[in-house]
Amino acid sequence: MPDFTPGQRWAYHTRPGEEDSTLLILRREALGDLPVLHIQLQGLRLRNPFTASGLQTDLGHMPISEEAVQQSVTDLLEQNATPSDDGGGYEEWRAAYERGEAGVFTLPVAQVVQALEDAVNAPTPADTFSKSNRK
């Protein structure tokens, strides 16, 4: 079982087409009995209609159980890597967590990425309504 520490960059079981994506450990903490890692992903190909290119390549902050990361990682690539700015992601998550409005992912990383892509690309009720009236 790996000993995860901030600054470690890992290869992980990715989605097809994202084999060069890496996982960077930002911080480690315990939430009650649950060991949690805060990670950053780089090298993604996540479809996101809210970006200018329609493609998101990085995820600045993701809270995830240590067990899920253990199931995901394959090779330690680097120690003492410098993360890119998470855009205040940890602080926003932490405030929402303390209000009871945020949690921690427990699925393997590739499944979380897929779930995020599915959610951000899901049609809204307005989209569904407008498409059904275009006959």
Per-residue burial over 97-112, b = 16 or more CB atoms within 10 Å of its CB, e = otherwise: eeeeeeebbeebbbbb
What confidence score (pLDDT) does residue 131 get?
Answer: 52
The conformational region for residue 127 under phi > 0 = left, psi -120 to 50 = alpha, else beta, is alpha
What is the arithmetic mean of pLDDT over 12-32? 97
> Tell me, what's the pLDDT at 84?
86
User: Does the residue 1 lie in any domain?
Assistant: no
Q: What digits encode the pLDDT tens for the residues 10-19? A: 999 999 999 9
pLDDT at 134: 47
β-partners of residue 46 are: 56
Cβ atoms of residues 22 and 8 within 8 Å? no
Rg of the chain on CA atoms, in Å: 16
- Is 103 domain-assigned? yes
Please tell me the total count of domains within the chain.
1
Q: What is the pLDDT of residues 33-84, one digit of tens each?
A: 999 999 999 999 999 999 999 999 999 999 999 999 999 999 999 999 998 8
Domain limits for position 70: 9-132
CA distance 114 to 4: 24
Confirm whether 125 is domain-assigned: yes
